[in-house]
């Protein structure tokens, strides 16, 4: 996951995918690019190359007739102004193998 810098932009990526299998694949792809903040929402700092790469990876898993993924660009100064009301962000279950 990239750190904020001058050549990256903060994207809020929201998705609406009705099928569990496709939604899980999209979730896994997005986990490699940003922070999972709500059940169908990620915050990702991306540069131009990364956004093109991510869009290409997502296209392999989407049904264009039924699925929707939206990228909302925010300025870096907007991130500290985010207000969260309610429960904390979701957590992936962790498996520990001994």
pLDDT per residue as tens digits for the range 64-75: 999 999 999 998
**Domain range for residue 25?**
9-81
Cα–Cα distance for residue pair 98/96, rounded to 1 Å:
6
The CATH number for 69's domain is 3.30.70.240
Choice between 5 and 1, residue whose per-residue pLDDT is larger: 5
What mean pLDDT, rounded, does the chain reach? Answer: 88
For the stretch 4-37, pLDDT in tens is: 666 899 999 999 999 999 999 999 999 999 999 9
Classify residue 44: in a domain, yes or no. Answer: yes
Beta strand pairing status for 41-46 and 35-38?
A: antiparallel
What is residue 60's predicted lDDT score, i.e. its pLDDT? 95
What is residue 84's predicted lDDT score, i.e. its pLDDT? 82
Q: What global pTM score does this model have?
A: 0.80
Side-chain half-sphere CA neighbours of 42 within 13 A: 22
Classify residue 94: in a domain, yes or no. Answer: no
Choice between 52 and 77, residue whose per-residue pLDDT is larger: 52
What is residue 55's predicted lDDT score, i.e. its pLDDT? 96
Classify residue 4: in a domain, yes or no. Answer: no
pLDDT band at 93 (very low <50, low <70, confident <90, very high): low
Classify residue 86: in a domain, yes or no. Answer: no
């Amino acid at each position: 996951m990239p750190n904020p810098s001058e050549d990256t932009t903060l994207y809020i990526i929201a998705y609406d995918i009705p099928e569990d299998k496709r939604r899980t694949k999209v979730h896994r792809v997005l986990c490699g690019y940003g922070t999972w903040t709500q059940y169908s929402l990620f915050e990702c700092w991306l540069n131009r190359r990364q956004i093109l790469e991510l869009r290409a990876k997502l296209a392999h898993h989407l049904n264009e007739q039924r699925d929707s993924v939206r990228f909302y660009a925010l300025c870096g100064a907007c991130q500290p102004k985010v207000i969260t009301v309610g429960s904390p962000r979701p957590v992936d279950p962790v498996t520990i193998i001994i």
